[in-house]
Amino acid sequence: MAESTLRAAQIAQTLGRELRGPDRDITGPGTLEDAGPESISFLANPKYVSQLSETSAGTIIVHADQADKAPHGAALIVSPNPYLDFARVLVMFMKPQGEFKGISPDARIAPDAVLGKDCTVYPFVFIGPRAKIGDRTVLFPGVYVGEDCELGEDIIVYPNAVFMAGTRIGANTIIHAGVVLGADGFGFVPGAGGIEKIPQVGIVSIGKSVEIGANSTIDRAALGETRVGDGTKIDNLVQLGHNVRMGKDCLIVSQVGISGSTHVGDRVTMAGQVGISGHLHIGSGATIGPKSGVARDIPENETVGGAPAVERGTYMRTLALMPKFPDMYKRLGQLEKELAKLKEELAAKP
Amino acid sequence: MAESTLRAAQIAQTLGRELRGPDRDITGPGTLEDAGPESISFLANPKYVSQLSETSAGTIIVHADQADKAPHGAALIVSPNPYLDFARVLVMFMKPQGEFKGISPDARIAPDAVLGKDCTVYPFVFIGPRAKIGDRTVLFPGVYVGEDCELGEDIIVYPNAVFMAGTRIGANTIIHAGVVLGADGFGFVPGAGGIEKIPQVGIVSIGKSVEIGANSTIDRAALGETRVGDGTKIDNLVQLGHNVRMGKDCLIVSQVGISGSTHVGDRVTMAGQVGISGHLHIGSGATIGPKSGVARDIPENETVGGAPAVERGTYMRTLALMPKFPDMYKRLGQLEKELAKLKEELAAKP
Amino acid sequence: MAESTLRAAQIAQTLGRELRGPDRDITGPGTLEDAGPESISFLANPKYVSQLSETSAGTIIVHADQADKAPHGAALIVSPNPYLDFARVLVMFMKPQGEFKGISPDARIAPDAVLGKDCTVYPFVFIGPRAKIGDRTVLFPGVYVGEDCELGEDIIVYPNAVFMAGTRIGANTIIHAGVVLGADGFGFVPGAGGIEKIPQVGIVSIGKSVEIGANSTIDRAALGETRVGDGTKIDNLVQLGHNVRMGKDCLIVSQVGISGSTHVGDRVTMAGQVGISGHLHIGSGATIGPKSGVARDIPENETVGGAPAVERGTYMRTLALMPKFPDMYKRLGQLEKELAKLKEELAAKP
């Protein structure tokens, strides 16, 4: 629900927070640095408290501890979690992408595809035979929905995303531009006449309230399903191989690659550019540090780093010592010389 | 040739294998865990032999050594290579993607483009001047074929793939969704007024029976050709720079990046997220471990790992010792202290 | 300005260089290995001087020092910088991609979008409400321009690139196929009912004379702008997170990922597969080696390598010692034994 002007008191009430100072008109959100008298801003990190005293923002969401640092005359919304409350304010002002409504005559939709109520289908969308599209789902230009796909309700699919045959997507999921779901898994077997392709006859199944970032790719299963659980958020340029199964509420940062048949639990966090080998189990609650290469199972709730990844404490200790390595090498050579000299001296003693 | 029902005896005969037990109807493939009485499954890895005794699969492809572990009443197809034979069975049941046939009036095809017999051109395809498309080649929606491209016979190009001008692709190749062939190589030279672009006037040339994964990118040569040899299989989100030349039957796993002018031999395997510097030679038969960073030429048939990559044995020994590093550091300091003490004691001796 | 035939004397004059030997017709550029009598080639690297004596190229751009090694009868253009001059010759022969002109009736353009003079809009382009497209800008098939986008003059946008709402792009910029600008940043906050999405209400702003490689992704800011400065060149499959600010004339090689809110100065070079953590400052003139993982601020003009990245000298020394690590481990154990023995011997002395 995008609004053009709201009052500070309205917002405070919706958030269930106390308003201190004057009520004010608010036309949109901004950072403490950029915001003006009709903007709402926030302070989450006490490290930036100096910005608070200098801001021109008319309305500020702030923790009670910092409220006294705010400029006189500002409307303050006092919150135990200013970042979360600011996110909710953003929703109030947010305008969804795209203004087209209805089913474009320039889309090509198979006669036996089934569209729910109030769907939006932009020009240049292709929907294949027997596909089902849930109520209020939006397909931007250039989207390809293969035969037998099943998309739930309130899904947003941004331009040029591709769903190969049989892909299933749960309600409220967001698919960003250029995503490819259901391309063939990378399955080959050496045959007499060279490398033979193993047909990939499974599908991709995405849960509810998932988000998949631009140009990410998730391959169909060789047999059965490649799965992403409800609430999981995947960033841009991520690759999930065939038969990966990922649980709920995971956060997978950009350029991560997960090889085939690896199972990932719930609430797992993977930082950018992580690589995971195939056929592994990553326990629920695990955290994988940036650029890690994981070549073994990871227990529940363990934090790992490095390539190959080891438990975080070991990794950090090793890292801290790395710059000392050249010095250690010298010291080792020095020790050997001194020991040899000592031996000689000892031999010379009576 | 997708079939809806086959008999076990038919399949055994086609594979040239022995059938043991009753003949059965088969409606499709499945895993040992999921398959039912009308499914065909397989056991390749003896590690999973316990699944064999518990499966409900009506027909099972199995090695002679494990045949006695299969449930009574199952039809057994006895094979020296169950995985390869199962792949062939998958082909018998596989339904190709897409059901559209013919040349869509919603495609835009240059008048002087030449299409072979029985091509399929979906809606929203663009084919530029003088492009040639071989017999039975299929172009899914949103595919762009630039001017002067030459595509061979029996190629499948999935949605939204892009071939810039002059790209050549051999017969039987599969291009997955979102692939970009022939974008400009990354070539710049410092000039008086900043960075100057070096025009990239070469092309991309892809061999026969190649497969290129979703959203991968292969740049056109600065001059001449960027080449991928026959039978090579490339996974998703892979990047090949300008003037890379890659041989036959290579396997290049997801998110690999190969810099400009590097030459790769035949039958080279690169695991996920490998990076190769420019102007190198990677010998035929080489294997590059996951996440390796290659900064030197690799001899034929060598296996390497690490960043920078070294011979596998050295890499594995180093890896094994890494967790001992903090301990080594302590021991080195301890040795130095003891040696100093010993020196003093020795000096005190007569 | 693509020409089909030029004379060597014309080219020398345009470059402001001396022509030695006969004047000749030139129909195109080539490498020393491939070029024929009607081709122009160059020698930049003295390492390849042996190719010079063997080439069939009719015209060669060459440094004065190597001019005497060229074959008799060749036309020589003598240059202090043969590579840069050859790049300029390539421009003379280069044919721009695509031959379509005008505004296709098969594009869908919002009535209130504003197109400049002599724009080219291919079929299957979608332009949203209030978008502005500068003079002579070219949009290839499948391009999506969201509402309120502002594109400058003389921009080239290759097929299937996507600009979400509000994206701004400066004049003379080149966007390669499959690029996605302005997808939502990866911003989430733990809420009571799971992970809550932080609406991303900022935009992407790209400078003038920028180039962005195929399938790269640059996310919109959470608030404010994600910025790329004038003259910066970005390779394929690169990811820039929300609120990244990058300066002028940077070179960012393929598969680099930069996390949210990191600021990058001017003239920064990042080699392939570099990863940069969020909220960092990378100083102007810095160079980041291939596959580095940067987890701290980098001072101006510093060269770093490794993961985590350290100053290049330290990195190179550590690298050089890595293969000696197993040997060091052995030597350390040996030293301990010898020291223990020496202690015993010393104790036995009077």
Domain that holds residue B348: 321-350
Q: Do C129 and A99 touch (CB under 8 A)?
A: yes
Searching chain A, which residue's CA lies closest to the CA of residue B248? Answer: A194
Q: Residue C215 is nearest to which of B126, B197, B217, comparing CB atoms?
A: B217
Token pair listed for C260: 């949210």
Identify whether A242 is a catalytic site residue.
yes
Same structural domain for residues B231 and B85? Answer: no
Which of B37, B84, B56, B60 lies closest to B68, judged by CA?
B60
Q: Higher pLDDT residue, B323 or A55?
A: A55
Asked whether residue C275 is domain-assigned, the answer is: yes
- Alpha-carbon torsion A120, A122, A125, A129, what sign? positive
Same structural domain for residues A89 and A179? Answer: no
Q: Is the pLDDT of residue C2 over 90?
A: no
Asked whether residue C123 is domain-assigned, the answer is: no
Token pair listed for B289: 């471990």
Q: Do C97 and B146 touch (CB under 8 A)?
A: yes
Same structural domain for residues B189 and B260? Answer: yes
Which of C 102-121 lie inside 8 A of B, CB atoms? 104, 106
pLDDT tens string C97-121: 999 999 999 999 999 999 999 999 9
Answer yes or no: are the C-beta atoms of B38 and B22 closer than 8 Å. no
Taking the C-alpha atoms of residue C95 and residue B166, their distance in angstroms, rounded to an integer, is: 12
Asked whether residue B241 is domain-assigned, the answer is: yes
Contact residues on chain C for B180, CB-CB shorter than 8 A: 176-178, 214-215, 236
Q: Do A178 and B174 touch (CB under 8 A)?
A: no
Taking the C-alpha atoms of residue A157 and residue A165, their distance in angstroms, rounded to an integer, is: 16
* Domain-ending residue, one of A71, A93, A115: A93
Same structural domain for residues C301 and C169? Answer: yes
Same structural domain for residues A89 and A189? Answer: no
Answer yes or no: are the C-beta atoms of B335 and C334 closer than 8 Å. no
Selecting among A242, A263, A279, A281, the annotated active-site residue is: A242
Searching chain C, which residue's CA lies closest to the CA of residue B215? Answer: C215
pLDDT tens string A15-27: 999 999 999 999 9
CATH code, domain with B50: 3.40.1390.10
AA identity, residue A86: F
Q: Is the pLDDT of residue A7 over 70?
A: yes
What's the pLDDT band for C1 if we cut at 50, 70, 90? Answer: very low
Go through chain B and tell me how many residues it has.
350
Same structural domain for residues B225 and B249? Answer: yes
Answer yes or no: are the C-beta atoms of B238 and B216 closer than 8 Å. yes
Selecting among C242, C263, C279, C281, the annotated active-site residue is: C242
Answer yes or no: are the C-beta atoms of A40 and A88 closer than 8 Å. no
Which of A256, A213, A250, A257 lies closest to A228, judged by CA?
A250
Give the pLDDT of chain B (350 residues) as one tens digit per residue. 455 799 999 999 999 999 999 999 999 898 898 889 999 999 988 888 889 988 999 999 999 999 999 888 899 999 999 988 998 999 888 889 999 999 999 999 999 999 999 999 999 999 999 999 999 999 999 999 999 999 999 999 999 999 999 999 999 999 999 999 999 999 998 877 788 899 999 999 999 999 999 999 999 999 989 999 999 999 999 999 999 999 999 999 999 999 999 999 999 999 999 999 999 999 999 999 999 999 999 999 999 999 999 999 988 888 888 778 888 888 888 888 988 888 888 888 87
Asked whether residue A106 is domain-assigned, the answer is: no
Same structural domain for residues B204 and B244? Answer: yes
Which of B 38-67 lie inside 8 A of A, CB atoms? none
What's the domain count of chain C?
2
C273 in A contact zone (CB under 8 Å): yes
Token pair listed for B282: 């990677």
Q: Higher pLDDT residue, C122 or C28?
A: C122
pTM: 0.94
Asked whether residue C348 is domain-assigned, the answer is: no
- Alpha-carbon torsion A295, A296, A297, A301, what sign? negative
Taking the C-alpha atoms of residue A31 and residue A56, their distance in angstroms, rounded to an integer, is: 10
Q: Do B236 and A183 touch (CB under 8 A)?
A: yes
B185 in A contact zone (CB under 8 Å): no
Same structural domain for residues B13 and B52? Answer: yes
A343 in B contact zone (CB under 8 Å): no
Taking the C-alpha atoms of residue A336 and residue A327, their distance in angstroms, rounded to an integer, is: 14
Same structural domain for residues A33 and A170? Answer: no
**A190 pairs with which residues across the strands?**
A195
* Domain-ending residue, one of A55, A75, A93: A93
Asked whether residue A104 is domain-assigned, the answer is: no
Q: What is the pLDDT of residue C3?
A: 56
Taking the C-alpha atoms of residue B158 and residue B233, their distance in angstroms, rounded to an integer, is: 16
Same structural domain for residues C180 and C303? Answer: yes
Answer yes or no: are the C-beta atoms of B241 and B261 closer than 8 Å. yes
Answer yes or no: are the C-beta atoms of C170 and C208 closer than 8 Å. yes
CA distances from C206 to C125, C155, C186 (A): 21, 11, 19
> Angle CA(B221)–CA(B222)–CA(B228) in degrees, nearest 5?
15
Q: Which chains touch C (3 or more CB pairs under 8 A)?
A: A, B
Same structural domain for residues B140 and B46? Answer: no
Asked whether residue B99 is domain-assigned, the answer is: no
AA identity, residue B194: G
Same structural domain for residues A281 and A178? Answer: yes
Q: What is the pLDDT of residue B1?
A: 40
Asked whether residue B11 is domain-assigned, the answer is: yes
* Contacts with C159 (C-beta within 8 Å, 6 or more apart), sequence order: B126, B144, B162, C122, C140, C141, C142, C143, C177, C178
Contact residues on chain C for B147, CB-CB shorter than 8 A: 97-99
AA identity, residue A235: D
H or E, element range at B150: strand B150-151
Taking the C-alpha atoms of residue A143 and residue A125, their distance in angstroms, rounded to an integer, is: 5
Answer yes or no: are the C-beta atoms of A185 and B214 closer than 8 Å. no
Terminal alpha carbon distance of chain B:
95
Average pLDDT, chain A: 94
Secondary structure (H, E, C), C73-106: CCEEEECCCHHHHHHHHHHHHCCCCCCCCCECCC
CATH code, domain with A254: 2.160.10.10
- Alpha-carbon torsion B123, B124, B127, B128, what sign? positive
Q: What is the pLDDT of residue A86?
A: 92
* Domain-ending residue, one of C93, C116, C146: C93
